[in-house]
Amino acid sequence: MTRVADPLSPASWPVSLQRAFENLPPVAWTVALSGGLDSVVLLHLAMAWQQHRARPHTLRAVHINHGLQSQSNAWASVCQHICDRLAVPLEIVPVAVEGDSGKGLEDAARDARYEAFEQNLRSGEVLLLGHHADDQAETQLYRMMRGSGLAGFAAMPESRPLGQAQLYRPLLSQTRQALAELARESGLFWIEDPSNANDHYDRNYLRNRVLPILKRRWPDASERMERNARHGREAVILLNELAEMDAACTVEASTGDLLLEPLLQLSEPRQRNFVQWWLRTSGLPPLGEKQLLNALPEFLAARADGTAEISGPGFVIRRYNGRAMVLNQAVLGHRPDSTLWQPPGALSWGEGQLVAERSEGKGLVPFEPGFTVRSRQGGEHIVLASGQRQPLKKWLQGRRIPPWERAALPLIWQADVLVGIGDLWIHPDYRALAGQSGWVIRWHSPPFRARATGAAKPLR
């Protein structure tokens, strides 16, 4: 970097750094301040840019105290000192890191940090992170070793939504060496985290052992890997746009279900890309590699009346009537015990609820001491308005009710006579006539459709 009298002045910055700050939205900025080199330099650069602007906007900092080091509180005090000297408001946020979450300490701390950022940020605010080109290279190598696919190869995005706010990384084009030179020339003070020297952690191993070897052979390795990551991010964008185009003919707008016939017309790589996109946009985690390569083709090739399914964390994908749908695994398969129901009290039935409302001339004729509600056992028959008997299974199939919804239906009995099925059917001999009191049944079906689990987190 060529320096002028004030190394922090935007006039002395590389063009790539100037462009990164020019692209930041002119709204309130919050700098994530750990006290390390990257974040301290970023805070001073943000301050210098604000002073450079004719109409500066709000600037503040936030420090996340993980409490994992004996020096954690001292680091928070250092951050407070830096911000006091710059007259920048600082908020110190303590977090609890789940050490036994199964993610590993690094990932657990990272998740806790981002969740704290999201909760701390205001609507429309911008969070600035100090990740640089060497961090990007480290992240790319780390995700490659984890087999994270193209999205992992794309490494960290320059910006992405974070709750109601937006996250930006304006230093991705700068190497750590360049930032360290700027910090020394500017007389800045920063903290060195001793845990960064512990090669037991994967990221530290890549940073301390692998990247130096690559840089000895290719001095500009970090810059090259950032270019690769940028190409990867563009490829991800193109694949998402392709999936959006495919959605026009493969997703039923009213339900979000997949239409299997048009999906089967796509090539297998395109099918895999689309299914992953479909899950992510539903707020659900994508499928693993083995499920994509093995379970998905078997699922799509299954017989129309087959029972093929694909399971994910908290959800299951099932097919019915030419569609694939994502279901909430927690509500499937519940078969409540037979129970007595005395309207007008509501009856919780599995994950659903039966409600009865008093009426005249319609509904189910009251019965004392009440009704017995049971799950389907198989072999039941219903009586149609014509007086003919029909197997219940065939009647439900004719109404195109999926098997999992059939299994959850409450069957209402009077002694040994089936007199009602949820709010779908009433035995003609037990229907209230004109002038007769009756119970109008309302069946609130379980929430079969899967909702976002919170597991579908963007790559950080």
| pLDDT at residue 97, rounded to an integer | 82
- pLDDT digit string, tens, across residues 104-162: 777 788 888 999 999 999 898 999 999 999 999 999 999 889 888 888 888 899 999 99
Average pLDDT over residues 373-399: 93
Whole-number Å distance between alpha carbons of 385 and 433? 14
Of 30-34, 72-76, 331-335, minimum mean pLDDT range: 331-335
Q: What are phi and psi of 426, to 5 degrees?
A: -130, 135
Q: Is residue 427 part of a domain?
A: yes
**pLDDT at 344 > cutoff 80:** yes
In terms of domains, do 141 and 15 share one? yes
Q: Note whether 282 and 398 are same-domain residues.
A: no
**Token digits of residue 184:** 């020394």
Quick one: pLDDT at residue 136?
92
| For residue 349, pLDDT beyond 70 | yes
7-11, 394-398, 448-452: which range is least confident on average? 448-452
Let me know whether 305 and 420 are in one domain: no
Query: Rounded CA gap, 409 and 7, in Å?
Result: 72
Contact (CB, 8 A) for 406 and 332: no
In this structure, are residues 308 and 319 in contact, taking their beta carbons and an 8 Å threshold?
yes
| Residue 331: per-residue pLDDT | 86
Residue 99's pLDDT is what? 66
The fraction of the chain above a pLDDT of 90, given in percent, is 64
For 300-356, the three-class secondary structure string (H helix, E strand, C coil) is HHCCCCCCCEEEECCEEEEEECCEEEEEEHHHCCCCCCCEEECCCCCEEECCEEEEE
Q: Is 444 helix (H, G, I), strand (E, B) or coil?
A: strand
Does any domain span residue 166? yes
Q: Return d(Cα 452, Cα 444) in angstroms, integer.
A: 21
DSSP one-letter code for 364: B
The answer on 288 and 409 residing in a single domain is no
Do residues 349 and 324 share a domain? no
pTM, to two decimals: 0.76
Q: What is the mean pLDDT of the chain?
A: 89
The confidence band for 6, taking pLDDT boundaries of 50, 70 and 90, is: confident
pLDDT, tens only, 359-373: 999 999 998 888 999
d(CA 129, CA 24) in angstroms, rounded, equals 12
Task: From 412, 408, 431, select the one nearest 421 (Cα to Cα).
Answer: 412
Structure-block tokens of residue 193 = 């985290």
Of residues 421, 423, 404, 403, the one with CA closest to residue 412: 421
Domain boundary among 290, 315, 331: 331
Question: Per the structure block, which two tokens stand in for 1?
Answer: 């970097």
Check residue 102 and report its DSSP letter: S
Could you tell me the CATH number of the domain that includes residue 281?
A: 1.20.59.20
Q: Residue 244 in 3-state DSSP?
A: helix
Q: Is 37 annotated as a binding residue?
A: yes
Residue 40 within any structural domain of the chain: yes
* Integer angstrom CA distances of residue 213 from 207, 220, 224: 10, 12, 15
What is the residue type of 320?
Y
The yes-or-no verdict on residue 386 having pLDDT over 50 is: yes
Contact 326, 306 (CB under 8 A): no
Show the 3-state SS of 278-307. Answer: HHHHCCCCCCCHHHHHHHHHHHHHCCCCCC
Q: What gap in Å lies between CA 83 and CA 71, rounded to an integer?
A: 19
Q: Which of 55-59, 175-179, 407-411 has the lowest mean pLDDT?
A: 55-59
Asked if residue 456 has pLDDT above 50, the reply is no
User: How many other C-beta atoms are found inside a 10 Å radius of the C-beta of residue 411?
Assistant: 21
Residue 18 lies in a domain: yes
CA separation for the pair 3, 182 (Å, rounded): 9
Selection from 17, 83, 62 nearest residue 167 by Cα: 62
What are 348's two structure tokens? 């919780």
User: Are 152 and 268 in the same domain?
Assistant: no
Annotated binding residue at 35?
Answer: yes
Q: How far apart are CA 317 and CA 324, in angstroms?
A: 7
Residue 368 is predicted with a pLDDT of: 85
With 60 as the cut, is the pLDDT of residue 3 above it?
no
Return the pLDDT at 432: 93
Q: Among 287, 310, 331, where does a domain finish?
A: 331
Residues 143, 66, single domain; the answer is yes
Is residue 27 a contact partner of residue 121, using CB atoms and an 8 Å limit? no
pLDDT-derived band at 1 (thresholds 50, 70, 90) equals very low
Is 39 annotated as ligand-binding? yes
Please indicate, yes or no, if residue 15 is contained in any of the structural domains. yes
| Number of folded domains that form the chain | 3
Q: Structure tokens of 339? A: 């129970």
159 in the same domain as 175: yes
| 104 has binding-site annotation | no
Q: In the structure encoding, which two tokens stand for residue 411, read together? A: 């069957």
Q: How confident is the model at residue 307 (pLDDT cuts 50, 70, 90)?
A: confident
Query: For residue range 16-46, what is the model confidence (pLDDT) as tens digits?
Result: 999 999 999 989 999 999 999 999 999 999 9
d(CA 389, CA 19): 76
Asked whether residue 36 is marked as a ligand-binding residue, the answer is: yes
Confidence check: pLDDT of 356 > 50: yes
Helix-, strand-, coil-residue percentages of the chain, each rounded to 5: 40, 20, 40
Helix (H, G, I), strand (E, B) or coil at 377: coil
Residue 422 lies in a domain: yes
Q: Specify the pLDDT at position 454.
A: 44
Mean predicted confidence (pLDDT) in 1-27: 83
User: Is 236 a domain residue?
Assistant: no
Strands (E), 85-129: 90-94, 126-128
Q: What is the pLDDT of residue 196?
A: 82
DSSP state for residue 431 in the 8-state scheme: B
Residue 210 shares a structural domain with residue 301: no
134 CA to centre of own chain: 27
In a shared domain, residues 369 and 267 = no
- The reported pLDDT for the residue numbered 2 is 47
Residue 54 pLDDT grade (very low, low, confident, very high; cuts 50, 70, 90): low
pLDDT at 452 over 70: no
**Domain housing 145:** 10-224
Please report, for the domain that includes residue 186, its CATH number: 3.40.50.620
Do residue 295 and residue 372 come from a single domain?
A: no
Residue 264 lies in a domain: yes
- Same domain? 75 vs 151: yes
Q: Nearest 5°: CA angle at 44, between 42 and 49? A: 95
